[in-house]
Amino acid sequence: MRFNDMMLGAVLLAFAVVLAGFAMTFPAIPGQRFGAGLFPLLIALGFAACGIALVLQHLRSPHAGREPLVMRTEWTQKPGAILAVLITIAVMIGYILLSRPIGFLPIMALMTLILFRLLQVPWWQALLFAVGGTFVLDLIFRSLLMVPLPYGIIPYLPW
Amino acid sequence: MDPISQAFDLVLQWQVVGAVVAAAIFGLLVGAIPGLTATMATALLVPFAFFMDPVPAVGMMVTCAAMAIFAGDIPGTLLRIPGTPASAAYAGEGYAMTLRGQAELALGANLLYSALGGLFGTAVLIFAAPTLAEIALNFSSVEYFWMALLGLTCAVFIGASSPLKGLISLFIGLFVATIGLNNPAGVPRFTFGSSDLLAGIDFIPAMIGLFAVSTVLSTVAAGAPAWEVAQKGMGNIFRSWGTLLRTYWRQQLRGNVLGTTIGALPGAGADIAAWVAYAISRRFSRQPEKYGTGHVEGIVEATSANNAAVSSAWIPAFVFGIPGDTITAIVIGVLYVKGLNPGPTLFLFNPQTIYAVFLIFILANLVMIPLGWLVIKLTKRLLQAPRRILMPLILAFCMVGAYASNNSVYGIVVMLVFGVLGFFMEENDIPIAPCILGIVLGPLLEDRFISAMIRGDGSLLFFFERPIAAGLGVVVLSIWAFSLIGWLRRRRKLAQAPAG
């Protein structure tokens, strides 16, 4: 997904307005004229300046009015490409939601298995790498680096 | 005991040497795989650095970065796909040599001059950093403000191909840095009642998202196709070294000096050094017509420059706490986590740590030669490593790493958001590096800016009252002015072109 200059500029301007609105509400340091609001306000001004520059750049360019606001980049023309990206993102969201109730081992193995299959890795390789990879990660992070990966429904593993 | 022998004690331990060698192998492998950058390799090491002592942690990342910058030359030469952006300047030249069956000459030159360049940059770092640190001890908030601004300015106006898009990226980074309680007034900003956001955006998952997850997403979108290698066999890479050293010592020296200088600038790193060195080499060559047809001269100069820049980029990082590029930005984040606040006081209070890191630099550039030779030998198999198996494993690794940064799924949420943001930015040609520098430098910039504003009672002239501050301020403002004038001129030319 690619925004043209007009669209990107408009998004930046809108964001700048929201940012400035929030920045105005921040209180100053007691007894001082400056506080938490000044820096975000300057950033908002910066965003606004970039937005205006992009809009002007678009209006002056020969493509003005002829380009669609949002273009599909080259890779999106490939069948299944957008779906692949969406599935990858969905898998990450799934892990975020399910890892605590169900546990690291089953969810991570499932997640990598889905991704392997998405990339058309043969079943036996996909299963091997999904399960093997998950156990290696478990070994490195839980056993060596002492990261408390969620157990979920899986009982405590002794290594 | 003096700091130098303490430093030797710190380095010569099996954990440290082991971590350096492991990081070297990791950096070489990641750098050699096209599409996985040196920055990504460094970002992936952060979760490990978290659990280690400061010296092995920093040593590991330093080594990994140097290796990945060298290893990026390998796919650049064999496939014309630079492993890291720092190799992009001469990937075409190297590939032309491969097509002529001279891949071993090109890769041999890359290995030799990468190691020598790294050592040159390290030597300058060792001698220049303590002296600069003494000067930096006199810096007040105003000088730091200008230094930070200079770094950001260089990243936007020199580093990015389009200054406007670079600015957008920078403002995104600065905005991200304002989230949370960590500001001069101690007011929660943009937290929307979330207790996770109060601590601010965690730097590590943001980094993993921007560099690794966005790469995984774009590779998955492309269906992770395999690569085709042009040259099948690989000869002896050492055979040409004697001739190369005798013929091209001038180019080497020029590349080293140029790379070190560019690397030492805050906000400019190895990528820019390689491009400038290649262009200068062509400009001063006796045979400029041979460039682009598979001529080793330009490769020698550019590869000497990029590794020298990797070493000297640590000068502003250690001395001022201002990162020179994305890799140093990540390591500065880790230094803060480790309680080693980068800046001149590091040289005062922890000289043994700094000397230990210097020793690791030397060690890293020395082990580069045998390990690099090994990787070049294995390279054909390495390039056959199927990306469709690598990508899911990298993603799994990223998720566990992001989780490990504060042991909660909030880290993975941050990683995902920044992964999608990075993907969107790449789609729109918005560079990622200024954003990272913004996230890292944002708190420092704001803190120094507000305290200078309060001390100067709102007078902007206060920013120019001290001599060094005035000098830095003039440099920053003139870079802005020149960029603006250049941009307006190009606009005008473009506007006139259809009419004329």
Point out the residue among B164, B400, B409 whose CB comes nearest to the CB of A53. B164
Residue predicted with more confidence, B19 or A61: B19
| Residue positions counted in chain B | 500
Q: pLDDT at residue B334 above 70?
A: yes
Q: Would you say B178 and B190 are in contact if contact means Cβ atoms under 8 Å apart?
A: yes
Tell me the average pLDDT across A56-64.
Answer: 81
Q: Do B400 and A141 touch (CB under 8 A)?
A: yes
How far is Cα B70 from Cα B364, in angstroms, rounded to an integer? 12
Residue predicted with more confidence, A92 or A31: A92
Tell me the average pLDDT across B270-282.
Answer: 84
Please, how many CA atoms are within 13 Å of residue B286, restricted to the half-sphere of its CB?
Answer: 4
Point out the residue among A12, A82, A137 whose CB comes nearest to the CB of B400. A137
How far is Cα B368 from Cα B71, in angstroms, rounded to an integer? 10
Q: pLDDT at residue B433 above 60?
A: yes
Tell me the average pLDDT across B150-163.
Answer: 76
Q: Would you say B435 and B232 are in contact if contact means Cβ atoms under 8 Å apart?
A: no
Tell me the average pLDDT across B394-402.
Answer: 88
How far is Cα A62 from Cα A52, in angstroms, rounded to an integer? 18
How far is Cα B414 from Cα B357, in angstroms, rounded to an integer? 31
**pLDDT value of residue B228:** 66
How far is Cα B489 from Cα B500, in angstroms, rounded to an integer? 16
What is the percent of chain B with per-residue pLDDT over 90, rounded to a whole number?
14
The answer to whether A14 faces chain B, any CB pair under 8 Å, is no
**pLDDT value of residue B497:** 62
- Please provide the average confidence, as pLDDT, over all residues in chain B: 84
**pLDDT value of residue B499:** 45
**pLDDT value of residue A128:** 95
Q: Would you say B100 and B125 are in contact if contact means Cβ atoms under 8 Å apart?
A: no
The answer to whether B404 faces chain A, any CB pair under 8 Å, is yes
Q: pLDDT at residue B500 above 50?
A: no
CA distance B434 to chain A (A): 14
Tell me the average pLDDT across B364-390.
Answer: 82
The answer to whether B388 faces chain A, any CB pair under 8 Å, is yes
Residues of chain B with Cβ-Cβ distance to A90 below 8 Å are none
CA distance B393 to chain A (A): 7
**pLDDT value of residue B418:** 94
How far is Cα B496 from Cα B490, in angstroms, rounded to an integer? 10
The answer to whether B453 faces chain A, any CB pair under 8 Å, is yes
Residue predicted with more confidence, B22 or B288: B22
Per-residue pLDDT band for A90 (boundaries 50, 70, 90) equals very high
Q: Do A33 and B458 touch (CB under 8 A)?
A: yes
pLDDT tens track for B210-244: 878 888 888 888 877 766 665 566 777 787 888 88
Dig out the tokens for A77 from the structure. 């023309």
How far is Cα B302 from Cα B299, in angstroms, rounded to an integer? 5
**pLDDT value of residue B181:** 84
How far is Cα B449 from Cα B457, in angstroms, rounded to an integer? 12
**pLDDT value of residue B233:** 65
**pLDDT value of residue B263:** 86
Tell me the average pLDDT across B240-261.
Answer: 87
pLDDT tens track for B447-479: 889 888 888 888 888 889 888 889 989 988 998
Top residue of A119, A124, A134, A138 to mutate, by most chain B CBs within 10 Å, is A119
pLDDT tens track for A111-151: 999 999 998 899 999 999 999 999 999 988 888 777 888 88
pLDDT tens track for B353-370: 888 888 998 999 999 999
Point out the residue among A85, A100, A148 whose CB comes nearest to the CB of B217. A85
Classify B429 in phi/psi space as left (phi over 0), alpha (psi -120 to 50) or beta. Answer: left
Residues of chain B with Cβ-Cβ distance to A35 below 8 Å are 184-185, 187, 450
Phi, psi of A2 (to 5 degrees): -130, 125
Beta pairing partners, A70: A3
Q: Do B403 and A149 touch (CB under 8 A)?
A: yes
**Complex ipTM, two decimals?**
0.92
How far is Cα A13 from Cα A19, in angstroms, rounded to an integer? 10
